[in-house]
Structure formats: C-alpha cells, structure tokens
Amino acid sequence: MLWKNGVGVSLTDGTRTAIAHSLAVSGSDVYVVGEESQGFFQGARLWKNGVLVPFTNALIHSAALSVAVSGNDLHVAGYETDGSGPTVATVWKNGVASRLADATRTSVANGIALSGPDVYVAGHAVHEQHRTTSVATIWKNGFATALTDGLRDSRAASVAVSGSDVHVAGYEFNGTRNVAKVWKNGVPTALTDGARDAQAVAVAVSGADVYVVGYDDRTTRVWKNGAPGLAPEGTSGTSAHWVAVSGRGIYVAGHDSNVGVATVAMLWTNGVATPLTDGRTAAVARFVAVK
C-alpha cells in the first residue's frame, strides 16, 4: 500500500503476499520498493507512480528494502540469493546489481542514503572469521566499515547523511539484551541502558538535530540528540518503523496493536496519531516521506 495524505492506494492485486518497505519522491515521481511472493521465490519489487517496474532477475530470491534517488540515478538496497546459499547485501543502481559482500556469509543492506557522488548503505554481515555474529556495517561506495568489533551481535538499520556527518541507527547485543544505538561517523552512542531489549530502527537529521525512532522494552521511543523526546500517542502497543523531519514537524510511521481487531497502520505528526486503516484487517506503515 501507498498512502498519500492519508488516502491509500493498492500497489498489488492481493493475490500474492507483498510488502512495501521504503519510498522516495523525486519531483512528481514516487518510487516504492518492497517484495512480492512468486511461487517458491520472493522477488524484489519497484513501483514508479504505482506501476510495477521489473528490475531484478525473476529467478533469484530477493527483497528491496530501501530506495534513494539522485538526478536520473535510482539506487535500491536490499539482498538477493540463489536460494541455495545465504542472502547477500546488494545495491541496484538503475537496475544493475552490485553485491556488497561475498556469497559465503549472510549479509543484508537495510538502508541507503546519497550525498553528492557518494552512496552510503547500512546493514549487517556475518563476521568473516568466527561466523557466529552479525556485525553492524556501513558501506561507502561499496567499501565496508564495521561499526562494532563483532564479538557480539549487532545490526545497522538506517543511515542519514548531513554534510560530512554520517549517522547510523541500529543495535548491539550486550550479552543479555539488545541496546539501541546511533553511530556518528563510526562513534557509538547508547540510547538505552541495556536493562531491557531495545532497538533503534531509523534516523533522520534536521539542521543540528538528530532524531532516532525505535523501541525500548516494547515501548515506542523517539530520541532527539540522544535523549528521549516526544512520545507518540498510544505509546504502549505501538511500533515505530521510520521517522522524517520537515519544517512542519516530526513524522513517524508505524502501527498500533491496541486500536482495532488487528494492527492499525499509523502516522504520528508531532506525536499526534492518525490511523491510516480501520483496524478490521492487519496493516503496518513502514516508511514516511514529506515533500
């Protein structure tokens, strides 16, 4: 589904399971990426203005998790596999695939951001040596930098670039619980104390302010510059999936489990909730962009 100003449009006909993960707006064009089941395979999908645009090998199991546009270039991040091996973090530029890691270990590209000629991708890859943990990783123009030492499991979910600063949201396991973290130019800041399970799932930058959304002990959190900020309405039972900031406010996409019979896709604007669905069937809002 794609909602524009609260009005929903179906991108698929409902005969097969499909998920839209991310979107980007460029001029009058709206690009949405996701995945759709196709028999024994799951295929990465790209829709431009609501029309499906094939861009991957239909015989390869794949998913498109993030999209960014710069001029005439369309960049999509996700993963692919031939079905017999692990998933491999992949970036497609104008439909041409580039793998970010080798095919001997599992890796996933979760988020992508562009800054001038540079392409930044956030994700994770299984540690090259001991192969027992995933390592939060940032790729710049295809070159990987580990954000942790790999001794404990960690993952990077989202990346935002502002000037020369690169911000990454994710988590690292502390031996007992996952700790929500944000890295600025590779330097980590813990957003939670490690007493409860927590994750940071998305990051956005506005001027000097850095906004991160995620959860702490199953409670939705919005952190501003490392401190808990505005709590969305209905915090208990909600999940935040993305954050966008504009001059008009802070926008958070997610869902609420406590409204209707099923989960309700939600948009929070400056903490005020707007349901996107009626709660009769399950729905989730995974991404928000403001133009």
Give the structural domain span for 56: 1-99
Average pLDDT over residues 89-113: 95
Average pLDDT over residues 37-52: 91
- The CA distance from 172 to 134, in Å, is 10
> What DSSP letter does each residue of the chain carry, written as one string?
-EEETTEEE-SS-SSS-EEEEEEEEETTEEEEEEEEEETTEEEEEEEETTEE---S-TTSEEEEEEEEEETTEEEEEEEEE-SSS--EEEEEETTEEEESS-TTS-EEEEEEEEETTEEEEEEEEE-TTT-SSEEEEEEETTEEEESS-SSS-EEEEEEEEETTEEEEEEEEE-SSSEEEEEEETTEEEESS-SSS-EEEEEEEEETTEEEEEEEETTEEEEEETTEE-PPPTT-BTEEEEEEEEETTEEEEEEEESSSSSS-EEEEEETTEEEESS-SSS----------
Tell me the pLDDT tens digit for each residue of 251-264. Answer: 999 999 876 679 99
224 lies in a domain? no
> What percentage of the chain carries pLDDT values higher than 70?
98
271 lies in a domain? yes
185 lies in a domain? no
Given a cut of 70, is residue 197 above it in pLDDT? yes
> What percentage of the chain carries pLDDT values higher than 90?
83
| Number of folded domains that form the chain | 2
Considering 35, 70, 99, which residue would you say is the last residue of a domain?
99
Query: Which pLDDT score is estimated for 162?
Result: 97
pLDDT band at 111 (very low <50, low <70, confident <90, very high): very high
169 versus 39: the higher-pLDDT residue is: 169
37 lies in a domain? yes
Considering 79, 99, 119, which residue would you say is the last residue of a domain?
99
174 lies in a domain? no
pLDDT band at 235 (very low <50, low <70, confident <90, very high): low
182 versus 237: the higher-pLDDT residue is: 182
Average pLDDT over residues 208-221: 91
168 lies in a domain? no
216 lies in a domain? no
- The CA distance from 223 to 228, in Å, is 4
Considering 74, 99, 124, which residue would you say is the last residue of a domain?
99
1 lies in a domain? yes
